[in-house]
Amino acid sequence: MYINFWYPVCTSDELANDKPLRATILGLNFVAYRDSDGKAHLLADTCVHRGGSLSKGKIISGRIACPYHGWQFGGDGRCRLIPVLGEDGKIPARAKVDAYPTEERYGIVFAFLGDEPEDSRAPFFAIKEWGQEGWRASPLRIIELDAYFERSIENGLDPVHNEFVHDSQGNVHYKPECTTLESLPWGTKVHVTMDPPKPGTTQLENLREDDKPEHFGAYSYHHGPNGLETRINLSKDNSFVQYFWEQPVDADHTRIFFINMRNCMLDPKHDERIMDINLMVAGEDVGIVNELQPKRTPESSAKEILVIGDECVGRYRDCLKSWENKGWRIDMKSLQENRGDIVYTVPCPARRTEKNWVLDSVPIRK
Ligand code: FES
Ligand SMILES: [Fe+2]
């Protein structure tokens, strides 16, 4: 798992105005809450006094109050009140927890989990079609996986599995010569052209009437380690663009935030049916990905056999390696071993300029 990328935290609906919420991301606990203006904040969950869980506390005057002795922390992570010291009590400089940049878009609260300065950060993975005329979003859905997130992204990039996993999509046959890979600054795009589904085999064939085979095709793009965009051109004018923001809960569980954009069947009455079809297809992927062994992608190439059609998976892994080389990969083994003795958190941007942090910065793979 990797620091220094944007991660989905929760849906906007999950984050009430009057109650904090615990979010587990990258195997670590965070507290999300809204201040008096409704702005969402994300902080490390562990109180630096004596380890209370802030997500079990209360929101008081726009601050999060620890449930143990009532210390209050602002959205910037600084402690603003220590009740036992009184209103004018001097707050120790070290009384602060990590606070992360947040963005709330598309009904999702996102946070940048890392200390990379703003100008060199991976850009936010935005929906290009959002708000554009002629496009409509289906309602946000969450897909839960009992699997490591990298396995899921690799599945999304893999053009070969479709005809074996997705019967309902017309058993579209993959041809290796019709694949091209494109490297972009923060990910890889796999373009695929295929023969269109045979009539009577796909639930969306009403969108393909009178169209030419060459208009059928797709691409998948991974943005950072955990973003995925899949565009399916059903015909010349009818497309779906699917956005997945993956939240690695821990090394065995993933929550995927999913929005489908479309430029056809724009009447809202089609939302449910289209989402039902999408979720049925996603469910077929989940059934496969949950059963993959080992749970995490093997570290040794001797433990798999990659062949033609797996190039996009190889490119994704190359990208992950490049981010590991930047010092962004969490050392999960060391984190697990020390759990119970050390509280780790992702370093926040303020650690670049301030010293004196109580919580330990998450161990990084060397
Ligand atoms: S542990 Fe949080 S206020 Fe004491
Ligand atoms: Fe699939």
pLDDT at 206: 64
Ligand 1 site, residue 66, Cβ cutoff 6 A: yes
- Cα separation, 355 vs 353, in Å, equals 7
Question: Where a domain ends, among 303, 320, 337?
Answer: 320
Pick the ligand that lies closest to the CA of residue 72.
1
Ligand 1 center to residue 72 CA distance, Å? 9
SS3 of the chain: the string is CECCEEEEEEECCCCCCCCCEEEEECCEEEEEEECCCCCEEEEECECCCCCCEHHHCEEECCEEECCCCCCEECCCCEEEECHHHCCCCCCCCCCECCEECEEEECCEEEEEECCCCHHHCCCCCCCCCCCCCCCEECCCEEEEECCCHHHHHHHHHCCCCHHHHCCCECCCCCCHHHEEEEEECCEEEEEEECCCCCCCCECCHHHHCCCCHHHCEEEEEEECCCEEEEEEECCCCCEEEEEEEEEECCCCCEEEEEEEEECCCCCHHHHHHHHHHHHHHHHHHHHHHCCCCCCCCCCCHHHCCCCCCCHHHHHHHHHHHHHHHCCCEECHHHHHHHCCCCCEECCCHHHHCCCCCCCEECCECC
Task: Note whether 107 and 140 are same-domain residues.
Answer: no
Residue 93 has pLDDT above 80, yes or no: yes
Give φ, ψ of 141 to 5 degrees: -130, 155
pLDDT at 154: 98
- Cα separation, 112 vs 102, in Å, equals 6
- Cα separation, 175 vs 309, in Å, equals 9
Interval 2-40: pLDDT, tens: 999 999 999 999 999 999 999 999 999 999 999 999 999
pLDDT at 281: 92
Mean pLDDT taken over the chain: 93
Mean pLDDT, residues 300-308 taken together: 92
**Residue 337: inside a domain, yes or no?**
no
- What is the sign of the dihedral through the CA atoms of 319, 31, 78 and 330? negative
Burial of residue 339 (CB within 10 Å: 0-12, 13-18, 19+) is exposed
Highest mean pLDDT among 162-166, 189-193, 327-331: 327-331
Mean pLDDT, residues 141-154 taken together: 98
Domain that holds residue 111: 5-120
**Residue 326: inside a domain, yes or no?**
no
Q: At what angle do helices 149-157 and 311-325 cross, to 10 degrees?
A: 140
Mean pLDDT, residues 126-147 taken together: 96
Ligand 1 site, residue 51, Cβ cutoff 6 A: yes
- Which of 316, 225, 203 minimizes the C-alpha distance to 6? 225
pLDDT at 201: 65
Ligand 2 center to residue 286 CA distance, Å? 8
Ligand 1 center to residue 65 CA distance, Å? 9
Task: Note whether 92 and 144 are same-domain residues.
Answer: no
The 10 Å Cβ neighbour count of residue 35 is 16
Mean pLDDT, residues 249-254 taken together: 97
Q: How many CA atoms lie within 13 A of 252 on its CB side?
A: 2
Task: Note whether 172 and 231 are same-domain residues.
Answer: yes
Ligand 1 site, residue 56, Cβ cutoff 6 A: no
Quote the percentage of the chain above a pLDDT of 70.
Answer: 94
Task: Note whether 208 and 308 are same-domain residues.
Answer: yes
How would residue 210 be classed by pLDDT, with cut points 50, 70 and 90? low
- The residue whose CA has the least distance to atom 3 of ligand 1 is 69
Whether omega for the bond prior to residue 294 falls within 30 degrees of 0, making it cis, is yes
Ligand 1 site, residue 49, Cβ cutoff 6 A: yes
Task: Note whether 97 and 232 are same-domain residues.
Answer: no
Task: Note whether 187 and 308 are same-domain residues.
Answer: yes
Residue 208 has pLDDT above 70, yes or no: no
Instruction: Give the number of the atom of ligand 1 that is nearest the alpha carbon of residue 69.
Output: 3
Mean pLDDT, residues 151-159 taken together: 96
Task: Note whether 193 and 74 are same-domain residues.
Answer: no
**Residue 34: inside a domain, yes or no?**
yes
Mean pLDDT, residues 323-332 taken together: 97
CATH code of the domain covering residue 287:
3.90.380.10
Task: Note whether 141 and 290 are same-domain residues.
Answer: yes
pLDDT at 300: 86
pLDDT at 170: 62
Instruction: Give the number of the atom of ligand 1 that is nearest the alpha carbon of residue 50.
Output: 1
Ligand 1 center to residue 169 CA distance, Å? 54
Block residue for tokens 């095709």: 217
Residue 203 has pLDDT above 70, yes or no: no
How would residue 200 be classed by pLDDT, with cut points 50, 70 and 90? low
Task: Note whether 97 and 169 are same-domain residues.
Answer: no
Question: Where a domain ends, among 91, 120, 149?
Answer: 120
- Cα separation, 120 vs 34, in Å, equals 27
**Residue 331: inside a domain, yes or no?**
no
- Which of 144, 105, 141, 143 minimizes the C-alpha distance to 125? 105
**Residue 338: inside a domain, yes or no?**
no
The 10 Å Cβ neighbour count of residue 342 is 13
Q: Which is higher by pLDDT, 199 or 27?
A: 27
Residue 70 has pLDDT above 80, yes or no: yes
Residue in 45, 64, 69 to alter for ligand 1 test, most ligand atoms within 8 A of Cβ: 69
pLDDT at 176: 80
**Residue 350: inside a domain, yes or no?**
no
Mean pLDDT, residues 235-254 taken together: 94
Looking at the structure of the chain, the number of domains it has is 2
Residue in 31, 43, 46, 47 to alter for ligand 1 test, most ligand atoms within 8 A of Cβ: 47
Task: Note whether 296 and 147 are same-domain residues.
Answer: yes
Mean pLDDT, residues 252-262 taken together: 97
How would residue 167 be classed by pLDDT, with cut points 50, 70 and 90? confident
Ligand 2 center to residue 285 CA distance, Å? 5
Ligand 1 site, residue 105, Cβ cutoff 6 A: no
**Residue 336: inside a domain, yes or no?**
no
Ligand 1 center to residue 80 CA distance, Å? 13
Ligand 1 site, residue 71, Cβ cutoff 6 A: yes
pLDDT at 233: 87
pLDDT at 118: 95
Mean pLDDT, residues 232-258 taken together: 94
- Which of 203, 137, 207, 188 minimizes the C-alpha distance to 322? 188
pTM for the whole thing? 0.95
- The residue whose CA has the least distance to atom 4 of ligand 1 is 69
Task: Note whether 12 and 40 are same-domain residues.
Answer: yes
Ligand 1 site, residue 73, Cβ cutoff 6 A: no
Task: Note whether 161 and 306 are same-domain residues.
Answer: yes
Question: Where a domain ends, among 64, 92, 120?
Answer: 120
CATH code of the domain covering residue 114:
2.102.10.10
C-beta of residue 152 within 8 angstroms of C-beta of residue 255: no
pLDDT at 204: 67
**Residue 73: inside a domain, yes or no?**
yes
Q: Locate 196 and state its tokens.
A: 């269109």
Ligand 2 center to residue 156 CA distance, Å? 6
- Cα separation, 151 vs 285, in Å, equals 11
